[in-house]
Amino acid sequence: MCGRYALNYSGEELNQRLHQMNFEVQLSRDNISGHEPSFNVAPTQDAPVYTTGHELRYMKWGLVPQWTKDVSQAKLYKTFNARTESLGTSKMWKVPCQRKRCVVPVSGYYEWITKNKTKVPYYVTRKDRQVMFLAGLWDRVPHEDFYSFTIITSPAPPNMKWLHFRMPVIFTPGSKEWDAWMDDSKHEWADKTLIETLKARCYEDVVEWWQANSDVNKVSNNGSYLIEPVKKEEEELLKKPVEEREPLHKKQKSEIKADPNVPSGVNKKGELVIPEGGALGGGKDEYHEGSSAKRVKREGSFGGDDEHVTKKSKNEHTKGQATIHSALQRSPRKKQVK
């Protein structure tokens, strides 16, 4: 899962870094110099994307398919993550996977675990502090010249399952996976080749992580202090063999399965409607709303503070209050003993 990341370079600084890495870079028409560093990039925000055509362009995070008639209504099926397993079959992903592949440059990404009912953010980054590249797809709605992108996730490798059972696909420039994904002439993929290319890898000699500042839970917060280490509680965990590491993130009911036929989005009250298979913690990344969908009041975060409210829980709470009130009315008052 990847619902938030940091990019601590301005548009111009990123362009310079890519040139230093011997990347061929063609700048898009938008003015990249006007984009500032961000330590809290969230879905629906603009962020830079590097395409197979060597173009560096700012796009909206949350892919809107090219066949969309009205971009303003795209929130009904806007997606910020795409599952590797569905790239070859989903109408949403199939064409972009063939012809509109990209990588998303980041400094690092955030993932949350729950400790004592509190969402705790962790920051994953490269040890050498070089740019990290995440596999992605992009698309363009031609009649509105609207560009958008999504980040691809795969099942997490054994050494990262303690944090989450899914993670973004990290590419190393020059690797065979990078070369295959960024080959602009490649339009067809065998299922086995696609899965192998997009296999999530996290080498502990290359990548490190630590607990980040909880202020990142709120999208409006920004600043370099968000990625500063708080503490490394996982150090003891990492001393154990991989097979003995207990996962700190457990699947919730809302992460099991969804109705794949009905679209979801944001309702009139501004609540994000997430299906039981489309929880932000790693359910199905193509969000749909089934009959069992829950409404989630967001505190402006993805992976941050959530408050799950269901009709059943509200009724039970009201019923419990009525029972207590009735019991208090029936109970005789005790006389004070002087």
The pTM (predicted TM-score) of the whole model is 0.69
Burial of 24 by CB count in 10 Å (0-12 exposed, 13-18 middle, 19+ buried)?
exposed
Contacts of 31 (CB under 8 A, 6+ apart): 11
Calpha distance 151→326 (Å, rounded): 54
Catalytic residues: 2, 111
Tell me the residue length of the chain. 338
What is the per-residue burial (b if ≥16 Cβ within 10 Å, else e) of 188-226?
ebeeeebeebbebbbeeeebebbbbbbbbbebebbeeeb
Q: Which two tokens stand for residue 140?
A: 């363009």
Calpha distance 297→142 (Å, rounded): 34
Residue 29 has a pLDDT of: 65
Residue 318: CA count within 13 A, CB half-sphere: 6
Task: Kindly report the number of other CB atoms within 10 A of residue 65's CB atom.
Answer: 18
Residue 264 has a pLDDT of: 43
Residue 304 has a pLDDT of: 38
Instruction: With a cut of 50, list the residues of the chain below it in pLDDT.
Output: 235, 238-239, 251-314, 316-317, 324-338
Sign of the alpha-carbon torsion through 163, 164, 165, 167: negative
**Largest Cα span, the chain:** 93
Calpha distance 43→61 (Å, rounded): 5
Q: Closest by alpha carbon to 64, among 17, 27, 100?
A: 100
DSSP 225: G
- The answer for 31, left when phi > 0, alpha when psi is -120 to 50, beta otherwise, is beta
Q: Which two tokens stand for residue 144?
A: 């509105």
Burial of 92 by CB count in 10 Å (0-12 exposed, 13-18 middle, 19+ buried)?
buried
Burial of 63 by CB count in 10 Å (0-12 exposed, 13-18 middle, 19+ buried)?
buried
Q: Characterize the bridge pairing of strands 26-27 and 55-61.
A: parallel
- The answer for 117, left when phi > 0, alpha when psi is -120 to 50, beta otherwise, is left
Calpha distance 40→301 (Å, rounded): 10
Quick one: which H or E segment has residue 322?
helix 311-330
The angle subtended at Cα 46 by Cα 43 and Cα 48, nearest 5°, is: 110
Q: Which two tokens stand for residue 57?
A: 């362009």
Residue 105 has a pLDDT of: 97
* Residue linked to tokens 């069992």: 292
Give the domains, in start order, of the chain with CATH numbers.
Answer: 5-250 (3.90.1680.10), 252-331 (no CATH)
Q: How many helices (H) and strands (E) does the chain have?
A: 6, 17
